[in-house]
Copies of this chain bind each other. A is one copy, B any other.
């Protein structure tokens, strides 16, 4: 792993500008850029969101679709350029929809992040700041998601939170991206 910070986590609420911030951060790195998409276009709403993100990124990105084996996708693309993973929330949602225990998958992801030579920018959501959900599955998702965020933030070199489109640095403490 290079001595430059190279694992970046970008968190934030819905429509907070997380993906645009992650793209700005990925663009600091020279060379090829690879977009690792965890979304599956299961309905019209999701298809539309995926299209919006693709249009904004523009050309210059190679897209890899990998809804489940994220650790494998990172291992396979290491050395080929900066990777942007969008997003961990959908990845976790896919794992839990399959009935997988996410704990070991998150640990494996963190191990692989610790061995990368090329930069990785990961997008996630903050989703534990509302009223306790009435739905038990939503509560369990919220728990697993919070633990995932903590685990990835721990191994990340830098962590940003997007709020109303503005970057707030959580790790290490500093000004602007």
Residues of B within 8 A of A165 (CB): 149-151, 153-154
A42 shortest CB reach to chain B, Å: 14
- The copy count of this chain in the complex is 3
Q: Does A96 contact B (CB under 8 A)?
A: no
B173 close to A143 (CB less than 8 A): no
Residues of B within 8 A of A138 (CB): 131
Cα distance A13–B163 in the bound complex, in angstroms? 12
Q: Given the known A-B contacts A153-B164, A164-B11, are A127 and B126 also in contact in the complex, defined by CB atoms under 8 Å?
A: no
Cα distance A149–B17 in the bound complex, in angstroms? 10
* Central interface residue in A124, A130, A154, by most chain B CB within 10 Å: A130
Residues of B within 8 A of A170 (CB): 163-164, 166, 168
Cα distance A15–B138 in the bound complex, in angstroms? 13
